[in-house]
Amino acid sequence: MNQPNSLSKGLKTRHMTMISIAGVIGAGLFVGSGSVIHSTGPGAIVSYALAGLLVIFIMRMLGEMSSVNPTSGSFSQYAHDAIGPWAGFTIGWLYWFFWVIVIAIEAIAGAGIIQYWFPGIPLWLTSLLLTVLLTLTNIYSVKSFGEFEYWLSLVKVATIVVFLIAGFAFIFGIIPGSKPVGLENLAGSGGFFPKGPSSVLLGIVVVIFSFMGSEIVAIAAGETSNPVESVTKATRSVVWRIIIFYVGSIAVVVTLLPWDSANILESPFVAVLSHIGVPAAAQIMNFIVLTAVLSCLNSGLYTTSRMLYSLAERNEAPRRFMKLSKRGVPVQAIIAGTFFSYIAVVMNYFSPDSVFLFLVNSSGAIALLVYLVIAVSHLRMRKKIERTNPESLKIKMWFYPYLTYLTIIAICAILLSMLFISSMRSEFLLTGFITLLVLASYVFRKKQKPKESASESRVAQ
């Protein structure tokens, strides 16, 4: 039977809608937000709002480009076309590397949560089983990926909605027997900025990485029957998604509880649920966080395979990664990402403080590089589109080109600030090192191509 020559169009509108809504909701919100609140105070609301605003701009630019040219390569393809082949190659492989490491991290995190309930199961075995399960889900069909992601995302969205409703009900004293909380926790314990306004800027640097994953909807657009409509809806909804889910959740936490509470540092959502009297709060949140971890793991496997498929399409990865199953799925590309994630998990087992730490740190600043490339690509592509095909612009970036320039400046400022933050300096430097390696491989590959072409010509003669 002949294999299909293009990716399946198995993702439905409801899949895309839920992926776009819940793409930004990860374990970083449920657990990682505690450290941001503890180091910033109530001002964490501003950190999340400003970081969210930056991501809103990025998604608007990406949505504009995707509405014109929806493709599984997404920003890597746009960088290739707008900046040059070297940029598409570099950012594509860096993004692939980023998600391979994320898959490993999420598999380990998920195994740790399951081990909390079943302490007798070895961590490595659970990590392996989770990765295999979701690999099979992705391999079967893109529709099965979409269904799995739909229900996982639905749990996350429902959790946030219930959390916000319950939180605001207690804040305003709507629950019978409760009194309005007021602004005591926002203004007390040192004020709204207890560690100074500069801590808000530091918070932005930390928070920005929590939003990675919002761009997946643009990658998935290539596998839906109506990509332009799907991307347009997802892009336009990103504003309220970030405001409600992230800014709203953080506002509830810092309003209900003192920002310097030890419980917030450990787990802000558990702390709030315990405070309002929800029984078995820790158990409930463990399940929710596991859902978020599995969702991220599922998305990571999907994203690495589609990026590798796109690189292979442009002859920037081995051509075998373009091979599709009968259901239109790039099986070898999925397995490649899974295989390297297994290696990372093994490194965590044998060398957690050296090799695995190096891998994690070296992927740390890639999110910002992706955002920077999207912004620069948009700056160049918009001019070309307006000149050649202006009617294809179904969605436009606000106040172009001024907000695009402002976004580029902001991302560069965040990258540079990482050099002066001791806890992030190694991430910046190691990401820079990995980026140079990828660039060097591009240069080496380009030099090898003429030799290969000459060799093929001699054989032909």
pTM for the model: 0.88
From first to last of the 461 residues of the chain, give the pLDDT tens digit: 444 567 778 787 778 777 777 666 776 777 778 888 888 889 999 999 999 899 899 989 998 888 888 777 788 999 999 999 999 999 999 999 999 988 888 888 888 888 888 888 888 888 888 889 989 988 988 888 888 888 888 888 888 888 899 888 888 888 777 678 777 888 877 888 888 888 888 888 888 877 887 788 888 877 877 777 777 777 777 778 788 888 899 999 999 888 888 788 777 888 888 888 888 888 888 888 888 888 888 888 888 999 999 999 999 999 999 998 888 889 999 999 898 888 888 888 888 878 878 888 888 789 899 999 999 999 999 988 888 888 878 788 999 999 999 999 999 999 998 888 888 888 899 999 999 999 999 999 888 766 554 444 343 44
What pLDDT does residue 2 have?
41
What pLDDT does residue 345 have?
82
What pLDDT does residue 454 have?
47
What pLDDT does residue 406 have?
96
How far apart (Å, rounded) are the C-alpha atoms in residues 90 and 442?
Answer: 8
Q: Tokens standing for 1?
A: 């039977």
Ordered domains of the chain (ranges, CATH): 13-92+140-291+341-445 (1.20.1740.10)
What pLDDT does residue 379 have?
93
Q: Name residues whose C-beta falls within 8 Å of residue 286's C-beta, 6 or more positions apart in sequence.
A: 113, 116, 117
What pLDDT does residue 457 have?
39
HSE at residue 246, side-chain half, CA atoms within 13 A, is 37
CA torsion through residues 71, 73, 78, 80, sign: negative
CA torsion through residues 165, 168, 172, 175, sign: positive
- Closest CA relative to residue 345, chosen from 145, 90, 103: 103
Is the CB of residue 242 less than 8 Å from the CB of residue 56?
yes
What pLDDT does residue 282 have?
82
How far apart (Å, rounded) are the C-alpha atoms in residues 275 and 432?
Answer: 43
The total number of residues shown for the chain amounts to 461
- 87, 104, 221, 300, 337 from 369: Cα distances, Å: 11, 21, 22, 18, 21
DSSP-derived 3-state class of residue 11: strand
What pLDDT does residue 383 have?
87
Is the CB of residue 143 less than 8 Å from the CB of residue 325?
no
